[in-house]
Amino acid sequence: MKGEFATTDEAAIRALAEARKQEPGALLPILHAIQDELGYVPEAAVPIVADVLNLSRAEVHGVVSFYHLFRTAPPGRHTLYLCRAEACQSMGARALEAYVRDKLNVDFHETTADGRFSLEPVYCLGNCACSPAVMIDETVHGRVTPERLDELLS
């Protein structure tokens, strides 16, 4: 929340941005670094990054909001990426999607009430020969059935 932002985070964000500002096209690597460090790109990062790169806040905000990966609110402890693309659809991803939303009681881009999982759609994990697929944090799982998903989530 605005105003409650810890100054240490602001300092950390500035340090991450300063460390990369000389790289050509530095904005994306900086945003990745911030999200890797904090789990998201807080609103307070926008003016800091804009200042370091000598860009307008609108330019930085425009980039943060353009890409699906960047989020502006803290995520759950784990992120469940569920593939919605055609290869997975052909093997039951639509049913799996309905099952997950119901089970976690969230929609896409939301986090469970207990803060354990954020649910994100993804359009292809490159696991199309072992569909349907999900990725939990950075681990991909193939041939996922509702039963198998229960195991993965427990």
The site for another protein (CB under 8 A) is made up of: 24-29, 31-32, 53, 59, 62-63, 66-70, 81, 85-91, 94, 122-131, 133, 135, 138-143
> Closest separation between CB of residue 120 and another protein, Å?
9
* Cβ distance to another protein smaller for residue 113 or 135: 135
* Cβ distance to another protein smaller for residue 77 or 84: 84
* Cβ distance to another protein smaller for residue 6 or 24: 24
Element of type H or E holding 135: strand 134-136
HSE value, Cβ hemisphere, 13 Å, CA-based, for 45: 29
> Closest separation between CB of residue 48 and another protein, Å?
16
> Closest separation between CB of residue 59 and another protein, Å?
8
> Closest separation between CB of residue 89 and another protein, Å?
7
DSSP characters over 53-81: HT--HHHHHHHHHHSSS--SS---SEEEE
Angle at 67 between CA 27 and CA 81, to 5 degrees: 125
- In the DSSP assignment, the letter for residue 23 is S
Amino acid at the residue 145: T
- Residue whose C-alpha is closest to residue 116's, from 61, 79, 74, 87: 79
> Closest separation between CB of residue 96 and another protein, Å?
14
* Cβ distance to another protein smaller for residue 3 or 25: 25
Angle at 136 between CA 130 and CA 140, to 5 degrees: 30
* Cβ distance to another protein smaller for residue 46 or 85: 85
